[in-house]
Amino acid sequence: MAVSTVSATVINLAANNQSLLIAAVLLLVCVATIYSFFSGGQKGRNPLQYDHRRAPKPIVHDTKLRDIVLKERFKPTKVPDNLDVIIIGSGAGGLSAGVLLTFAGLKVLVLEQHDQAGGCCHTFVEKGFEFDTGIHYVGDVQEGSIARVLLDQLTCGQLRWANMDDAYDTVAVGTPGEVKLFPMKTGAAAYYQNLRRMFPQEQEVLQAYEKLMKDANKSFFGFIALKVIPASIARFLINSSLYRLVFKCYRKGYASRSLQQVLDELTGNKKLKLVLSYICGDYGVLPKDAPFLLHAILVEHYIHGGFYPVNGASEIPFYMTQVIQQGGGKVLVQAPVTEILCDSTGRAVGVRVGRQEVEVRAKHIISDAGVTNTFKKLLPENVARKSCIYPLIGDVGPSYSFLSAFIGLDGSTSDLKLSAGNMFVYSGKDINQSVSDYLNVKAEDVDHTDIPFSLISFSSAKDPEYDVKFPGKSAAVVLTYANWEWFKEWKDEKVRHRGDRYEGIKDALGRQMWQQCVDLFPQLEGRMVHMEVGTPVTNRHYLACPYGEMYGLGQRMARFSPDVACKLRADTDIKGLYLTGQDTLTCGFVPSVLSAVLCVSKILHRNVYSDLVKLQTSLNNRGV
C-alpha cells in the first residue's frame, strides 16, 4: 500500500475516532516523559525515599541564634569542596531545590545577594515590629495535601502552620461609609454556598461558574505537561496543533480566554463580577488580561482555607538552610552573583561572585534569580541571545510593580480585635478601568491620586507566636500596585538617601494606604506608631526584582500560550543551566516550591513528583 494511502487511512481513522487519537497521543506523551527522566544520565537517588520528619523542636525566638543560620556571609573559604550544584538565589524555589538535592546526596551551594536568606520568605524587624515581605498567606497546605507533605519533608517536620479565620479573605467594595463586605469561606461547599447566599438572584450564574471553575482546574495538567515532556515532543504537539485536542485547558480555551471574557458571558451583574474577580490581586493581573485557568487554580488553591507559618515566614528558610548545611552544603548571603560562567561550547559551568569576582564552579547551575535577571544580566549576552527563552522576556513582560506599607500598631491582636484574614479593598468601580487609570497617572501627579485597590493583612493576628515575641504590639502590611516609571529615577540611589521628592511621594501614598486601614478598622485610629513604605525601588534593592515587580514575569495570557509554556521549563536549552522559582510554573509560594521538584527531576533523571506522590500515599495510608 502506498505511503499516501496509509497516511490518508490514518487521518480518516483519527478524524472519526477522536478519543482513540487522544489516548494514543497521551500514551506517546507518557512514554516520552518517562524516557526523558531515565535517559541522558545516571538515575539519581530518590530524595524522598524516606520520611525525613523528626519530632518538632522548640521554636527559636532568639534573633542571634536565627542569624547564625540565616545570615552567614559569603567568604571564598566557606565554599565547600567538590560542589555538585550552585543555586543562585535563596527564595522558595532555590532552597527547596537545594534541600531535595541534599537528600539525594549532592553537595549544594546557595548564593543570596541580600543580607539574609529566604527571598520573599524573609522577614525583618524594625522599631520593635516584625514584618513579612512576601508570604501573606499560603493555601493548599492542609494535612495530607501534596504541598503539605512536601513542605514537611523539606523542613524535616519542623515547620508548623496556623489556620487563618474561616473567612480567610474578605472583599470590601465601595467608598468609605458605603462599604459592603463579602467574606470568602473555607471549604469548597461553604465557598460556593456562601456566594449563592450573598447573591441570591444569581443562582444559575453561580452554578455555571462553579462548574467551569472545577472543569478548568482539572485541565491544568495540560499546561504542566508542556513543561515536563521532552521539548521535542512538546514542539511536535504544538506545531501539529494536536495540543488543542489532547489538553483540555487549550481545547476549551481556559488558557486563552480571559477571566473578564468568561464572566461577561455568564452575567451582567457588575458587583458579582467584581467579587468573583477579587483574587486577581493575588496573582497580579487584571481580569481583562488574566487567563481563566490561572484564576481557577488560584481560587482552588485557597478553597481549603488560608494558612500562615507559625513564628513567621522566616521559619521556611530557617529550617531549609539547616538541612542543606547538615548535608555538607552552604547557604551564604551577601553573595551577589555577577555572572554565570560558560565554557567555549556555551555550557554553564560556574558563577562569578561579588566585587572580588570569585569564581565558583559546579556541574549543575540552578537559577532562582528569575528569568529576566538570568538571561538579561547574568548570562554572557552571546549565550543568552541563542536561547529560545531570551525573546520571551519581552513578549511576556514583567508583572506589576508594587508598594508596601509596613505599619506598627500599639496594641495586641486581642486589644485591637484584629482578624486572621485578609481584606481586599476595591473602590467599587470597574477593576480594569480604575487600576489602569491609576497606573497611567503621570509621576508628578502620583502623590495626590486615589488608590483603587489594596490588600490589608495583619501578620501578627495570623501568627500565634507574634505576641510572645512582641507583646502588646501588632503589625499590618498594606499592598497595592505601582508604576515603575514613577520611581525609576531613584533606582541607583542609596537606601534612605533618595531625596525629599521621593520621600514625599512615599509619605503621601503611605498615608492614603493607612487611611484605608482606618476606614475599615476604625479601632486602629490613633494606634499607628510606625510606618515604612516600600516602593518598587525598595523591592529592586532587597529582592533583586528588576522593576520592583511582585511576581517575576507577568501572568497574562501570553504566559500561558503553549509556545511560552513549553519554553519556560526547568531544563533550559543552555547545557548545565536549570531554572526554579515562579517563572517556570506560576506565581506564588507553593508553585515555587513545586517548581523545584520539576527542576530536581531533570538533574536526577528521575520523576521526583512521582516519588512525592508515593510518599504521600504511604503516609496518608498509615495515618501519619
DSSP string, 462-512: H-TTHHHHSTTEEEEEEEEEE-HHHHGGGTTSPTT-S-HHHHHHHHHHHHH
Q: Is residue 44 part of a domain?
A: no
pLDDT averaged over every residue in the chain: 93
The listed range with the strongest mean pLDDT (128-132, 173-177, 281-285) is: 128-132
DSSP structural state of residue 532: E
Taking CA 245 as the corner, what is the angle to CA 242 and CA 247, rounded to the nearest 5 degrees?
A: 100
Helix (H, G, I), strand (E, B) or coil at 424: strand
Q: What is the C-alpha separation between 139 and 429, in angstroms, rounded?
A: 28
**Joined grid coordinates for residue 217:** 482546574
Query: Is the predicted pLDDT of residue 47 greater than 50, yes or no?
Result: yes
Q: Say what the pLDDT of residue 13 is.
A: 46
pLDDT digit string (tens) for 56-114? 999 999 999 999 999 999 999 999 999 999 999 999 999 999 999 999 999 999 999 99
Q: Is residue 512 part of a domain?
A: yes
Q: Residue type at 309?
A: P
For residue 326, count other CB atoms closer than 10 A to its CB: 10
Q: What range does the domain containing 515 cover?
A: 400-550
Same domain for 498 and 598?
Answer: no
Q: Say what the pLDDT of residue 32 is.
A: 58
Residue that terminates a domain, selected from 529, 550, 571: 550
Query: Average pLDDT in the 599-612 region?
Result: 97
pLDDT digit string (tens) for 256-277? 999 999 999 999 999 999 999 9
Q: Say what the pLDDT of residue 7 is.
A: 40
Q: Is residue 417 part of a domain?
A: yes
Q: Which helix (H) or strand (E) holds 86?
A: strand 85-88
Number of folded domains that form the chain: 2
Same domain for 350 and 449?
Answer: no
Q: What is the C-alpha separation between 435 and 360, in angstroms, rounded?
A: 45
Q: What is the C-alpha separation between 497 and 599, in angstroms, rounded?
A: 40
37 band by pLDDT with thresholds 50, 70 and 90: low
Q: Is residue 507 part of a domain?
A: yes
Q: What is the C-alpha separation between 451 and 433, in angstroms, rounded?
A: 12
Same domain for 420 and 534?
Answer: yes
Q: Is residue 150 part of a domain?
A: yes
Q: What is the C-alpha separation between 470 and 545, in angstroms, rounded?
A: 30
Residue that terminates a domain, selected from 493, 526, 550: 550
Chain centre to alpha carbon of residue 60: 26
21 band by pLDDT with thresholds 50, 70 and 90: low
Find the Cα–Cα–Cα–Cα dihedral 226, 229, 234, 240, rounded to 10°: -100
Q: Say what the pLDDT of residue 15 is.
A: 47
Query: Is the predicted pLDDT of residue 450 greater than 80, yes or no?
Result: yes
Residue 117 contacts residue 133 (beta carbons within 8 Å)? no
Q: Say what the pLDDT of residue 443 is.
A: 87
Of 449, 424, 419, nearest to 436 by C-alpha is 449
Same domain for 413 and 471?
Answer: yes
Same domain for 513 and 384?
Answer: no
Query: Average pLDDT in the 302-318 region?
Result: 98
Tell me which of 9-23, 24-38, 441-455, 492-506 is least confident. Answer: 9-23
**Joined grid coordinates for residue 556:** 497574562
CATH number at residue 321: 3.50.50.60
Query: Is the predicted pLDDT of residue 321 greater than 80, yes or no?
Result: yes
Query: Is the predicted pLDDT of residue 39 greater than 60, yes or no?
Result: no
Query: Is the predicted pLDDT of residue 348 greater than 70, yes or no?
Result: yes
Same domain for 341 and 459?
Answer: no
Q: Say what the pLDDT of residue 612 is.
A: 97
Query: Average pLDDT in the 468-474 region?
Result: 97
In 165-314, which ranges are continuous DSSP H helix? 188-198, 203-218, 220-228, 231-239, 242-246, 248-251, 259-266, 270-277, 280-283, 292-302
Tell me which of 20-34, 86-100, 200-214, 398-412 is least confident. Answer: 20-34
Angstrom CA distances, 397 to 364, 533, 547, 549, stand at 28, 25, 11, 11
Q: Is residue 351 part of a domain?
A: yes
For residue 469, count other CB atoms closer than 10 A to its CB: 16
Helix (H, G, I), strand (E, B) or coil at 548: coil
374 HSE (CA, 13 A, CB side): 30
Query: Average pLDDT in the 307-327 region?
Result: 98
Same domain for 611 and 580?
Answer: yes
Q: Is residue 276 part of a domain?
A: no
Same domain for 572 and 453?
Answer: no
**Joined grid coordinates for residue 486:** 514613577
Same domain for 546 and 559?
Answer: no
Taking CA 114 as the corner, what is the angle to CA 528 and CA 466, rounded to the nearest 5 degrees?
A: 35
Helix (H, G, I), strand (E, B) or coil at 403: strand
Query: Is the predicted pLDDT of residue 40 greater than 70, yes or no?
Result: no
Same domain for 365 and 406?
Answer: no
DSSP structural state of residue 443: G
Query: Average pLDDT in the 156-178 region?
Result: 95
Q: Residue type at 202?
A: E
pLDDT digit string (tens) for 363-373? 999 999 999 99
Residue that terminates a domain, selected from 513, 531, 550: 550
Percent of the chain with pLDDT over 90: 87
Residue 548 contacts residue 401 (beta carbons within 8 Å)? yes
Same domain for 534 and 409?
Answer: yes
Q: Is residue 90 part of a domain?
A: yes
Strand partners, 131: 124
Query: Average pLDDT in the 380-386 region?
Result: 97
Q: What is the C-alpha separation between 337 and 436, in angstroms, rounded?
A: 36
Q: What is the C-alpha separation between 40 and 603, in angstroms, rounded?
A: 10
Query: Average pLDDT in the 435-453 region?
Result: 91
User: DSSP string spanning 95-155?
Assistant: HHHHHHHHHTT--EEEE-SSSSS-GGG-EEEETTEEEESS-S-EES-STT-HHHHHHHHHT
Sheet hosting strand 577-579, strand order edge to edge? 330-332, 108-111, 85-88, 364-367, 577-579
Query: Is the predicted pLDDT of residue 465 greater than 70, yes or no?
Result: yes
Query: Average pLDDT in the 150-178 region?
Result: 96
SS3 content of the chain, % helix, strand, coil (to 5): 45, 15, 35
Kind of pairing, strands 330-332 and 108-111? Answer: parallel
Query: Is the predicted pLDDT of residue 18 greater than 70, yes or no?
Result: no
532 band by pLDDT with thresholds 50, 70 and 90: very high
Same domain for 452 and 515?
Answer: yes
